[in-house]
Amino acid sequence: MSLNLDSLRKQIDSLDHKLITLLNERAQVSLDIGAAKRQAVDPQEEDNTHVYIPGREKQVFEKVTRLNPGPLANENLCAIYREIMSASIALQKDVMVAYLGPVGSFSHDASMKRFGDSVQYASQGTIADVFEAVERGSCQYGVVPFENSIAGSVVPTLDKFIKSKVKIRAETYLPVHHYLLSKTTTESIRRIYSHPVALAQCQTFLNANLKGIELVPCASTSEAAQLASKEKHAAAICNRVCADIYGLDILHADIEDMQDNTTRFFIISDAWDAPTASDKTLLMFTVDHRLPGALCDGLKVFKDHSINLTKIDSRPSLLKPWHYVFFVECAGVHGDSEAMSTVIEDLGKFCLDVKIVGTYPDQRPQDLRY
């Protein structure tokens, strides 16, 4: 069969015509959804309607990948749908997302992957600033790193959850590959900038190739790139995109200790989403030291309710020395469910100050397409 370029392009033109009509029909329905969401808000009150519905987005991504007959790869279809829903969010409301900046950080990457190109982003200097932007209401959503598969928990995030009233609304996983970027050669490097969690992920490479070189911790990997771009003998460990953004050369690629290095981020806000088919809940509590075995009895509550725990962590309470706050993530239960109310009631018999930090659709680490 001979292929005629002109006639094939005419087919594309005609399909684009149909696509534009359909995309606008979808956008109109989205505007109506926005109006329906606002109907529930008292006109005298400030409009804090949530247009970002992570549970519904998960359903849409699962549906489109299920329906996809190809040849378009699911990954590409999801990228298209990410932008369709990003535009949909922006049509319903001006949305501002806070992230740990500057541009080029892994938090920026995770935010873009979650919210797409059509919303607005506000770079913040520290993780605490991301929390505070959400608390003040200058940003409706914030994206914070929670844990890394090599370096473990991100302590500033856990510590902010202890004091803050923000809620977790969604989780997302990002594969993390580190690059050594500089304006100089590896042999001339005298100082390496990076975020402490990133430095912890590249110990094997650093010990083998740059032992004894000064390591300077900074607020983010992109700030590291910014600093390295201003010094002759400095380098940064950061995201590949920082090479273009900050005018640095790639000296070494993929220098993380494990190639499947992944960071889990939380999307924080003032409210969580309604239950979906599969949710997780992060709880926080302290224990009463006067009761021997209080933590053990508390944890047994989850066993008694057949709840699987996917993460346990503890941090100093910051109120009294040797007093700890425990974080426990429960799989398969939503924070508003009756099951969770019973768990909290039972936990209250052994533990103090039990609080839900957030409840969010279960996003498996392998669901990297969305």
Ligand X SMILES: O=C(O)C(=O)C[C@]1(C(=O)O)C=C[C@@H](O)C=C1
Q: Which is nearer to ligand X, 30 or 194 (CB)?
A: 30
Other Cβ atoms within 10 Å of 24 Cβ, number: 10
Query: Nearest approach, Cβ of 21 to ligand X (angstroms)?
Result: 17
Residue 354, H or E segment:
strand 351-361
Q: Which is nearer to ligand X, 57 or 147 (CB)?
A: 57
For 190, which DSSP code? -
Query: Nearest approach, Cβ of 140 to ligand X (angstroms)?
Result: 12
Q: Which is nearer to ligand X, 88 or 239 (CB)?
A: 88
Query: Nearest approach, Cβ of 141 to ligand X (angstroms)?
Result: 11
Q: How far apart are the first and last CA of the chain?
A: 39
Number of residue whose CB is nearest ligand X: 88
Asked if residue 187 lies in contact with residue 203, where contact means CB atoms within 8 angstroms, the answer is no
Query: Nearest approach, Cβ of 29 to ligand X (angstroms)?
Result: 8
Residues near 117 by Cβ (< 8 Å), separated by ≥ 6? 83, 86
129-158 exposure pattern, b = at least 16 Cβ within 10 A, e = fewer = bbbbbbbeeebbbbbbbbbbbbbebbebbb
Q: Which is nearer to ligand X, 88 or 229 (CB)?
A: 88
Place of tokens 């940003």: 139
**Three-state SS at 292:** coil
Of 213, 179, 220, the closest CA to residue 197 belongs to 220
Q: Which is nearer to ligand X, 92 or 281 (CB)?
A: 92
Query: Nearest approach, Cβ of 58 to ligand X (angstroms)?
Result: 9
Rg of the chain over all Cα atoms, to the nearest angstrom:
23
Asked if residue 358 lies in contact with residue 282, where contact means CB atoms within 8 angstroms, the answer is yes
Q: Which is nearer to ligand X, 120 or 188 (CB)?
A: 120
Query: Nearest approach, Cβ of 53 to ligand X (angstroms)?
Result: 4
Query: Nearest approach, Cβ of 78 to ligand X (angstroms)?
Result: 13
Q: Which is nearer to ligand X, 33 or 352 (CB)?
A: 33
Residues near 9 by Cβ (< 8 Å), separated by ≥ 6? none
Residue 351, H or E segment:
strand 351-361
Residue 209, H or E segment:
helix 203-209
Asked if residue 355 lies in contact with residue 160, where contact means CB atoms within 8 angstroms, the answer is no
Q: Which is nearer to ligand X, 89 or 282 (CB)?
A: 89
Place of tokens 């501002």: 96
Q: Which is nearer to ligand X, 33 or 79 (CB)?
A: 33
Q: Which residues bind ligand X (CB under 6 A)?
A: 30, 33, 51-53, 56-57, 60, 85, 88-89, 92
Asked if residue 106 lies in contact with residue 225, where contact means CB atoms within 8 angstroms, the answer is no
Query: Nearest approach, Cβ of 86 to ligand X (angstroms)?
Result: 8
Query: Nearest approach, Cβ of 274 to ligand X (angstroms)?
Result: 10
